[in-house]
Amino acid sequence: MSEVIADGPGLGHRQITFSRIEKGRFRATNARGGTLDFASGENTDFTPVELLLVAIAGCSAVDVDLITVKRAEPEHFEVTATGTKARDEQGNRLQDIAVHFAIDFPDGADGDRAREMLPKAVAMSHDRLCTVSRTVQTGAPVQMTHD
């Protein structure tokens, strides 16, 4: 029995595939047919490490947006993710990962409600909603195989 691949935001199995475009460049494809090019860092394409930061910040940005937009549409919404690539006895990894939200809401009662909800939304994403950061924080085994 094959596992059903989820093609949206709900629960279930996820899968991406990617193929080599040229030396150091790849194209990832999701179950919905979306594509994303990435590379080793010798051109302007995102690197896998940058994509990890994108995934962490992006996951939380979606959470925060979906929660706060119920109160007011933001006038400015920017998220910055940072981390330091390190190498030690544990191997290569990112440490000191941080995500910063810079969001402005309009004046008025709706904007006030959104501003009041913002810290709660960020905390909810960090503590339980964001699958990506929760996976990084709690750890998950990664199995690698080959043909």
pLDDT exceeds cutoff 80 at 9: no
Please give the backbone phi and psi of residue 57, each rounded to the nearest 5 degrees, phi first: -70, -40
**E-strand spans in 89-137?**
91-104
- For residue 83, give the amino acid letter: G
Mean pLDDT of the 79-106 span:
97
Mean pLDDT of the 61-77 span:
98
Name the residue with higher pLDDT: 9 or 103: 103
What's the confidence (pLDDT) of residue 1?
Answer: 44
In this structure, the number of other CB atoms found within 10 A of the CB of residue 45 comes to 18
Tokens for 117, please give them. 């909800």
For the chain, give the mean pLDDT.
Answer: 94
**How many residues are present in the chain?**
147
Superfamily classification of domain 47-138: K homology (KH) domain (3.30.300.20)
Domain spans of the chain, in order of start: 1-46, 47-138
Mean pLDDT of the 44-65 span:
97
pTM of the model: 0.89
